[in-house]
Amino acid sequence: MQQIQAEVAGYSGRILSGNYSEKLKNRVRERLAVLKEFVRLNPPVIPYLCAWQEDDRIIWYEFAGEGFCELLRCDCQSLAQELRSAIVDRRVYQYTDVEHRVEEKIITRDELRGSWKGLRREVEKSGKVEAIYKVKVTEESHVWLKDQATVEDFDKDGICLSTGFLTDVSKEMELKDLFEKIGYIDELTRLPKRSILDRMLEVNIGNFQRKNIDDFVLMMIDVDHFKVVNDTYGHLAGDYVLANLAEVMTATTRKQDEIGRYGGEEFYGFTVGTIALGLKFAERLRKNVEKANFVYQGQKIPITVSIGLVSATQLGEAKDLSVDQLIFAADKRLYAAKHAGRNRVVSE
């Protein structure tokens, strides 16, 4: 054991000192060297290397970043046991086969106890792990950790080796749960509802009037000929289009951009900046929607959007600016885009 500790400083795992193949031991040495070097970069994620025997419930850690042990107030040897007792639930996000929507599957701690074999088989078969764990750290507090890992199976040794990274996503999950609890998130598109837009505009009008920002842009976005989609392909197809359209538009946004559902087939966009910046954002949205593939039950559905946008500075005196005024102006330009032939952006 002293030789192993000298070979890999701080090692407290089982494999290098156990009766395992050189292939497995060499893989562990290689992973340890990479992860230890990675930790030196002070990354915003927590790396780990864990292992388990086939048909055995026990998992152990060959390596874990200091932040992991600090979080659970334990050493690496007892980390697996402490984590198992601290997990509140496990959340997995996947597309549904029928509606192509993102579905949240929550497995409670009690359910995890009874389904560990099935979960492990699933992980071994796919070769990867991607889930979010709600972890209790004190009697009053918890964190959400996103787990992303790859899994290797060493048949000769009957060992599975998982190399992964944990990301603290507590703020995102708390915000998501809050929004869902108070009804701010649209169930179909998973986008913020109109009530978020009203509040967002109020805040930015205040920032604009206090000269904390120079300008901002509101856009109204409408799906062209959406009634034809429902009449031709059915309302389930219409729901599919709206849900996937939301994904296309969300993927187009940058950090300062926002997208939400206004109602029906109408969406809204927002960004801080000039009308020129807003135009670039709107055109990216329009073009990405136009070239996206919307295929429902084998049928390709052509989709385009019309967009009307307005900037705060276009509407005169800052002191007179209101939420209703912004929405009215953006709506007026949206209808101008539709009357001009659709699949276009109007900004004046």
Active-site residue, from 139, 187, 265, 317: 265
Long-range contacts (CB closer than 8 Å, 24 or more residues apart) made by 176-183: none
Backbone angle region of 266, left / alpha / beta, with phi > 0 → left and psi within -120 to 50 → alpha? beta
Longest distance between any two alpha carbons in the chain, whole Å: 80
Contacts for 295 with CB less than 8 Å, ≥ 6 apart: 301
Q: Using CA atoms, how far apart are residues 315 and 333, in angstroms rounded to an integer?
A: 13
Alpha-carbon 267 to chain mean position: 20
- H or E segment to which residue 77 belongs: none
| Active site (annotated) includes residue 265 | yes
DSSP string over 16-71: GGSS--HHHHHHHHHHHHHHHHHHTT--SSEEEEEEEETT---EEEEEE-HHHHHH
> Is residue 237 within 8 Å of 279, Cβ to Cβ?
no
The candidate with the shortest Cα–Cα distance to 310, out of 268, 278, 342, is 278
Catalytic residue ranges: 265
